[in-house]
Structure formats: C-alpha cells, structure tokens
Amino acid sequence: MGARGLALLATVVALAVDLGWRAAVVPGAGLGWGLAFGTDAPLWVLSTEGLLQGAIPAVPPGWPALAALPRLLGLPLVPAGALVSQLAGAAIPGAGAWVARKAGASVAASAGVALVLWAWPDRAPWAAEVQANGLGALALLVATGLAAQVLSGRARWAAPAAAPPGWAWLAAVLVGALPLLRENLAVVSLAAVLGLPLLVRGGAGLAAVVLATWWLSPLLVGAGPGPTPLQTPWGDRGSRALQDLGAGSGAPPAYVAELPRHLRGAYLQLLREGDTVGLVRWHAARSLALAPDAWALGAAGALTAATQGRRRPALAAVLLPLAVLAPTLVFWSQRRHLVLALPALLAVAASGFQVPAGGGRPAGQGRRVERLLLATTLLLVGLALASWPATWVRHAQAARGEALRAATLAELGAWLCQQPEPLLGGPIQDVGLYCPRPRHDPDGSAADAHTLVVAPRRQPPPAPADAWTRVGPPAADLVVYRWRPGEPRPCPQGRPAPGTPYLSAGPVHAALVGCVEPSP
C-alpha cells in the first residue's frame, strides 16, 4: 500500500476511534459537539471571537484563525473550534504513517505507527478539545516529515540529490510558522535557524526563511514584530521562563499555585534560595515523571538516528521533536507540552524498521549489532506504551467531569443569550463560550446597566450591593446578577464599542456607542 492510501485509511479509522471516545465520556445525543473541553478552552475559543472583531488574540493566532473560518460560515463558536481540533486529531495517525513511510519505514512499520497513534491516550481527548494541542502535534509531525525529505537530498554528509527538493522552502515556512500554533514550539524554529546552516547544503537560505516567517508572523494579525522573535503580542514565553527560573526572592511564578500542597513548600524554598541547580533537577524529575512515554520514544528516535543516520540522513529530522523535549528539563511544563512531540518521535523510531534497497544493510557482525539496536528500540516503545492504560483512565475521568460542568455552562449560556443585555461581567468567563458577548466589569458607569454578571454563588454581588439582584435559572454553584431589574436603563440605545474584548485578564470597562457619560 502506498503512503497516501495508508494515511487515508489511518485517518478514517482515527475518526471512528474519536467518536467512540466521545460516546464513552459524553453519552447521549450530540456526543458533546456543543461542549467546550480543554483546560484553557476560554482562552482559545474567545480569542477566536475576538479575532473576528479585530482584536489581537491572547494566544498564538493559528488555531483561532482556522476556527474563525467555520465560524464565518455560520457554525456556533464552540462547534467551530471543535471541528478544527477534530480534523487535526484524526489526521495524526495518517500523517504519522506517511512520515514513517517517507523516511524509509516498511509498510508494516508504518501501519504500526498508525496503530500506536490510534491508541495514544492524548490524541482522542485532544481531538475533542477546543484548543491547539492536536493541531500543534500534527504540524510538528508534518514539519518533521518535510525536514526528513530535505535532509535525504541535501544533508552535508550525504551525496547530493540530482536536484534540490522544490518544496524545501515550504518546509522552512512551516517550521517558522510553528510558534503560531503553540508558544513552546518556538524552540523548534530556533533549533532550525541554528541547525540548518550546519546540517544542510544551502541551509543558510532556508534558515533565513524560517527566521523571517517566525519573526514577522505578528503581521498576520495586524501587530508589529517584537524586538526578538520570542516577544510577540500574545506572549513572551522565553523571557517568562528565564525569569521564573531565577525568581529568587521576588513574587513566585503563577504556576506555583498548580502544584500539590506537599510539593509547593519545597519548590518555593528552592526559589527563595536561588538554587538554580536544584530547580533544574526538580524540573527534570517532573518532566520525566509527567511523560515517560515521550521520553522513551525520544530515546528510541535518537537511537535510530544515531545508529542509522550516516547512511540515512533523513533520520536527522528527529532533532526537531527532540528540541521540544529539551527545555522541559529546565523550565516549567505540563504533560501536553511534552507529548506534542510524541507522534514525530514515534515516526522516526519506526523508520529504523525498513525494507533494504540495493543491499544497503550491513552484514555479519554489523547485522547482529543492528538487530540488537532494533530490539532496544522495540523495548523503548514498549516502555512508552506501558503507561497508557492508566493515562486513558485519568483522561476519561477528567473528561466526564469537564462534560458535566460544560453542560451546566451551556444551559446557562443559552439563557443568557435570550436576555437583552449585550455585555457579560464577573470572574466566570467560561460562560462566554456558549454566549459570546463583550466583557465589562461593573465600575459605576452606564455600561453596568447593560451587563449581566456571572459569579460564584458565595461571592457577594458587585458594589453597590443594593443595585444588583440575582436573576436567572440555577446553575450549580453560579449565580447571575442584573442591575436594578424593573428600572429604566441609562443610555437605552447604547451599544458596546467595536473592539471591546471578549476575554480579559483584568478589569475591563466597555464604552457604549451612542452614550455620553463622564469617565468612570
């Protein structure tokens, strides 16, 4: 079977697996297509709505831009994002088989890549999420495959191809665009800028394309490039990571609150003492514990490239996904940051199992050594798979909990969208996923009368308390406050000004068009 046919079959089966996952965690009609899954769903989905209104997104804009396309065609906000994630997630097994086949793996080994990626416990949940994890993993996988093709004909230690691949420039653009999908993929672009001139004939020109694409990418959302490629309007991950590592006696990094209590004290002590070596050891141990499967496959891919890379230059492409793993030994990371690289690492490791062409394999003692190395690769892959049943269970438990909360928010959102107020306020921004409206936090201005405030039940109403009344249907632990029900609203014809954000990291004042009022 050809690479394209294998990829298509793998994608179709992946869709079936994903539907089975949805049926298992969200039983009933609809399979949760209207529910927003994902730890950072509000950031990604509401950035999509803001992008459509001309605002610079709070996250890398690649996923929001793609989700905006079905949104423009009339799909509701959450299903539009779910469609993008589902297509990306379902394409991963097929893309993995294609990359492995193009890198020289046998049909059986390539089919094995698809089989393993069907069973990968992060893929189906990512396909159900409304954020960019699956899309980032897919883009890195395809970039690795294209890099393998470039290296096969242009690596400095190999005989040059008759003609350089015409799409090498496309590969450079894709690698440069990876940070538009996930901030932590910027390290892949950096590795390409540094490595291409050393590893590839004509690599300096390709590196310049990678750097230009990466640095100028903010222009795509109407913003200017920063002083360095790492500094973008939607984040500065590199500088933040370095600041957090050397936080010392200053304010602790925000992620400390995510640590379990029994780990938090020891970590804060390392920060206070400025023990950089201790912090690096702590992060390295955490990275290995979070994603032993990614590290096992990283070792397998590195072993394959180290032992066969001289006669098969394409395998050097493993440096791209390995670049994703390396910073997690030093900086704060979550499992999703590491396993983005897993499909690409698996595809390279599987490429060690190839059908030789023209007697290209060693004989005698060399052949025995190769068999030993392949057996070691299989052992590493087996170690990676050993942790997956428990990971499936954890993901399923978390998804069921997310589904219950999302269903509550969706019900509340449907009620909010039937109300005349055009603004939403309060700390619960998730409800905006199901009723996307601009933000306003009560500040005594006329916009208060045009705002519904969604807050935890135990939280007191906005000030002044006598101006706000609980309204709306019960929604578990949430309540909705309305400004002086039954009284005439000031500026009844006022509408939120264009550009009012749909997502906020702090208090927001919404100006009303057609309303003259003193500044709050």
pLDDT in tens, 249-303: 456 676 777 777 777 788 888 888 878 888 888 889 989 999 999 999 999 889 8
Check pLDDT > 50 for residue 357: no
Contacts of 445 (CB under 8 A, 6+ apart): 509, 517, 520
Report pLDDT for 518. 54
Residue 71: other Cβ atoms inside 10 A: 24
Averaged pLDDT of the chain: 85
Which range of 46-50, 270-274, 351-355 scores highest in mean pLDDT? It is 46-50
Strands 478-483 and 468-475: antiparallel
| 473 contacts 412 by C-beta, under 8 angstroms | yes
Structure tokens at 277: 């070596």
Sheet holding 423-425, edge to edge: 423-425, 451-456, 478-483, 468-475
Percent of the chain scored above 90 by pLDDT? 40
CA atoms within a 13 Å half-sphere pointing along the CA-CB vector of 320: 34
Check pLDDT > 80 for residue 333: yes
Pairwise pLDDT comparison (106 vs 119), residue with the higher score: 119
Structure tokens at 368: 């025995």
Report pLDDT for 350. 87
Check pLDDT > 90 for residue 30: no
State the DSSP string of 25-92.
HS-STTTTTTS-BSTTHHHHHHHHHHHHTTPPPSS-SHHHHHHHHHHHTT--HHHHHHHHHHHHHHHH
Check pLDDT > 50 for residue 359: no
Residue 28: other Cβ atoms inside 10 A: 9
Amino acid identity at 34: G
Check pLDDT > 50 for residue 37: yes
| 403 contacts 25 by C-beta, under 8 angstroms | yes
| 42 contacts 143 by C-beta, under 8 angstroms | no
Residue of 391, 398, 388, 434 whose CA lies nearest to 25? 398
Confidence tier at 494 by pLDDT (50, 70, 90): confident
Tell me the C-alpha distance between 12 and 210, whole Å: 33
pLDDT average, residue stretch 93-113:
88
**Cα 100 from chain centroid (whole Å):** 23
Contacts of 485 (CB under 8 A, 6+ apart): 469, 471
| 185 contacts 210 by C-beta, under 8 angstroms | no
Strand (E) or helix (H) holding 472: strand 468-475
Tell me the C-alpha distance between 53 and 6, whole Å: 41
Torsions phi, psi for 354 (to 5 deg): -125, 160
Beta bridge partners of 104: none
Confidence tier at 238 by pLDDT (50, 70, 90): low
Check pLDDT > 70 for residue 453: yes
Could you report the per-residue pLDDT of 374-385, keeping only the tens digit for each?
788 788 888 888
pLDDT average, residue stretch 452-474:
87
Alpha helix (H) residue ranges in 246-364: 261-273, 276-290, 292-308, 319-325, 335-339, 342-350
Could you report the per-residue pLDDT of 391-412, keeping only the tens digit for each?
999 999 999 888 888 888 999 9
Structure tokens at 298: 């990283």
Report pLDDT for 324. 95
Tell me the C-alpha distance between 35 and 253, whole Å: 31
pLDDT average, residue stretch 366-373:
66
Report pLDDT for 251. 65
Pairwise pLDDT comparison (51 vs 248), residue with the higher score: 51
Confidence tier at 240 by pLDDT (50, 70, 90): low
Confidence tier at 358 by pLDDT (50, 70, 90): very low
Check pLDDT > 90 for residue 499: no
Report pLDDT for 237. 55
Report pLDDT for 25. 84
Percent of the chain scored above 70 by pLDDT? 89
What's the burial of 419, exposed, middle or buried (CB within 10 Å: 0-12/13-18/19+)? middle
Report pLDDT for 168. 85
Strand (E) or helix (H) holding 390: helix 388-416
Check pLDDT > 60 for residue 239: no
- The sign one gets for the Cα dihedral 347, 349, 352, 354 is negative
Report pLDDT for 45. 93
SS3 451: strand
| 181 contacts 62 by C-beta, under 8 angstroms | yes
- Give me the residue label for tokens 């869709």: 15
- Give me the residue label for tokens 């065609």: 73
Report pLDDT for 10. 87
Report pLDDT for 161. 59
| 286 contacts 327 by C-beta, under 8 angstroms | no
Confidence tier at 29 by pLDDT (50, 70, 90): low
